[in-house]
Structure 1
């Protein structure tokens, strides 16, 4: 199982179906969901019947794929999560190159702007890079989501393209950012 090192403020563990209530509570803020579902909040049924099965489809503890729970070290408070999965995992054809991983993050609004998303994503990226199995890290966000794009840039990612991202949750016009691991470790 991939281990992610704690930071000075944060600790991490892979989420499971047992974390459904944490996922539900996080997604009940329309501002948190603004750039994901245009502010529509999921029901508990959505979490149970859509979100959890999606997460289980790509979770692989040995490779570090899944949703990584972000918690404060000193209190254990749940801040949100960082997603790791192969890019284009939910395309009609499964990805053939598993060396390009998608990173994403979602945090409770009260933790925005405090550096937690960057700190968590960097710790998880470092653990993934240390495996020697990946060549690229990619993230995507709606172009208006300047907070997430700021995190991408802090992680060393650069703009690649704008395109429509289609997945089972719908279609969104997004900007893709990417970095080559060799540029980060070189």
Structure 2
């Protein structure tokens, strides 16, 4: 996704249920999309390496249903992990429970796993976000730890899951 997708990003963030584990359920404003989300996305976006927000559409109707994030773990810290790719997802509530997040995340892992420099794929979530934890388990990730995640925009306790890059040439 890129700057031209501001409306899509805005639409997705309007559902309080979608935003519940992100910021307590507050819809994002257009200003937040344009001055926070898009600049952050552009900071880690690298099409050659597959980093960015991958738009997810249905195959049958090509309807936009959400996105999957792929970027180095701890990207917005002093010690980003270039060999550890963080995956995250956000989907319209109408699509929840249908396997879209896990299918999309697995396809992204498959695409990126040919890069032998990537040692693993990771994800974090609020420990009460059972749906996201379910996706992590479904894509083969295992629990590593619970810790205090610090990002320039927020700080919270999260569970950390990971799967090794098992790509074989």
Please give the range of the TM-score, normalised by the shorter of the 2 chains.
over 0.9
Residue 52 of structure 1 corresponds to 38
The runs of at least 4 consecutive aligned structure 1 residues that moved more than 2 Å come to none
Residue 132 of structure 1 and its aligned partner are, at CA, apart by: 2.2
Matched, 1:155 2:122: no
Match of 2:126 among 138, 142, 166: 142
With structure 2 as the length reference, what TM-score do the two structures score? 0.96
With structure 1 as the length reference, what TM-score do the two structures score? 0.87
CA distance in 2, matches of 1:112, 1:99: 30
Residue 103 of structure 1 corresponds to 87
CA distance in 1, matches of 2:143, 2:119: 17
CA distance in 1, matches of 2:108, 2:9: 19
Residue 111 of structure 1 and its aligned partner are, at CA, apart by: 0.2
Please, what is the CA RMSD of the aligned residues?
Answer: 1.4
Match of 2:60 among 68, 74, 87: 74
CA distance in 1, matches of 2:95, 2:31: 26
SS of residue paired to 2:113 = helix
CA distance in 1, matches of 2:46, 2:143: 28
SS of residue paired to 1:172 = strand
Aligned length: 169
Match of 1:132 among 101, 104, 116: 116
Matched, 1:24 2:10: yes
Residue 181 of structure 1 and its aligned partner are, at CA, apart by: 1.3
SS of residue paired to 1:99 = strand
SS of residue paired to 2:35 = helix
Residue 185 of structure 1 and its aligned partner are, at CA, apart by: 5.7
CA distance in 2, matches of 1:32, 1:158: 24
